[in-house]
Amino acid sequence: MSQLPRIVVLATGGTIAGASTNPASSARYQAATVPVSTLLAAVPALQSVARVEAEQVAQVDSKDMVFSLWSTLAARVQHWSAEPDVAGIVITHGTDTLEETAMFLHLTQACPVPVVLTAAMRPSTSLSADGPLNLLDAVRVAGHPDARGKGVLVVLNQQIHAARDVTKAHTSAVDAFVSPQGGPLGFVQDELVRLARTPAHAVAAVLPVPARWPDVEIIASYAQPGRIAVDAMVAAGVKGLVVAAAGNGSVHEVLIAALKDAAAAGVAVVRSSRTGAGHVAIPPVVDPDAGVFLSAADLNPYKARLLLLVALAQEPGLAAAPDRLQALFASV
């Protein structure tokens, strides 16, 4: 019998490592308290799937994610990816910012072996906790030959998603994660791992992990917005602004005026959509006035912010090269 794949689990916290004194409640609990050794011990089936070893990289509620932890995580992914006999890496994470960490890794990691993020909507102590199966499925995917070359993946609720596309779309349901543009890449059903399609943007890995992180923020367009926030952020030295615009990238005229001033001050301005799905038209197709600002393509505001952040960290002058910045949004 051939040897089981060696899989490294990097634990960062989240609800998957959450605990409560009330098993009947999935809402009242403390995230990020259970050590990874306990999470692994709760899933004896792992032993027949992989040779698993684990590292507790952090123990945080992912709502409190910080850049320094992303840098640490990237370094640990690179370290373990370079070990000759490691077949794949699993990262346990909180669901709140999982899509951001996944996008960060998508943008910065070459992924010579599969990198699979997983999480849970219910704490480990709850009735019908979803973490154990998600963890087992993530290890199955990380060790599967078909997952190679697919970039960073996200496995929850028996579905396999591309890191770039996946988003959390429900406050509490176990099927909270969706890929609004093209759906999941595949599924896991017990030992059957089926990757039905290749991600449209399989492996980005075009940008280095920032040594310094510029200020890049998100604002939203809605009825009668003020321009106070934009003006204050520009005065504070913000380098990039992503607008969670209405519909197909529409921005309220009050914000357009403020954002034009921001752009004139050297701030990179990118329009994403607050709708949750679809592409924002490349300017100036929709609104010639709003067209002065770039399009995030189909990236949601949080993922667009990640790309702008990492791109401006690599090249601060990119705000003055809108054609190149727009090309990056179209290609990553």
Binding positions for ligand ASP, rule: CB under 6 A = 13-15, 31, 61-63, 94-96, 119, 121
Tokens of 168: 């959390």
Which position has the token pair 């098993």?
Answer: 23
The answer to whether 15 is a known catalytic residue is: yes
Q: How far is the CB of 98 from ligand ASP (least distance, A)?
A: 7
Which residue among 21, 38, 92, 95 is the active-site one? 95
- Least distance CB 31 / ligand ASP (angstroms): 4
Q: H/E element holding 211?
A: none
Nearer to ligand ASP, 61 or 298 (CB): 61
Distance linking the first and last C-alpha atoms of the chain: 41
* Exposure string over 183-193, b if 16+ CB within 10 A, otherwise e: ebbbbbeeeeb
Q: Minimal distance in Å, beta carbon 183 to ligand ASP?
A: 22
Which of 15, 108, 118, 125 is labelled catalytic? 15
DSSP one-letter string for 141-195:
HHT-GGGTTS-EEEEETTEEEETTT-EE--SS-TT-EE-TTT--SEEEETTEEEE
126 is in an annotated binding site: no
Residues 6+ apart with CB under 8 A from 240: 214, 215, 216, 217, 267, 268, 269, 270, 305, 308, 309, 312, 319
Contact of 301 with 274, CB cutoff 8 Å: yes
Q: Which residue is nearest to ligand ASP (CB)?
A: 94
Closer of 95 and 221 to ligand ASP (Cβ)? 95
The answer to the question of whether 95 is labelled as a binding residue is yes
Residues near 177 by Cβ (< 8 Å), separated by ≥ 6? 95, 98, 154, 156, 157, 159, 161, 166, 167, 168, 169
Selection from 103, 130, 102 nearest residue 18 by Cα: 130
**Nearest CB to ligand ASP, comparing residues 53 and 64:** 64
Between 73 and 328, whose beta carbon lies closer to ligand ASP? 73
Q: 222, 264, 221, 223: which is closest to 242 by C-alpha?
A: 221
Nearer to ligand ASP, 118 or 179 (CB): 118
CB of 37 to ligand ASP, least distance (A): 19
* Shortest reach from residue 121's CB to ligand ASP, in Å: 5
Q: Please count the other Cβ atoms lying within 10 Å of the Cβ belonging to residue 102.
A: 28
Annotated catalytic residues are: 15, 95
From the annotation, which residues make up the binding site for substrate?
62, 95-96
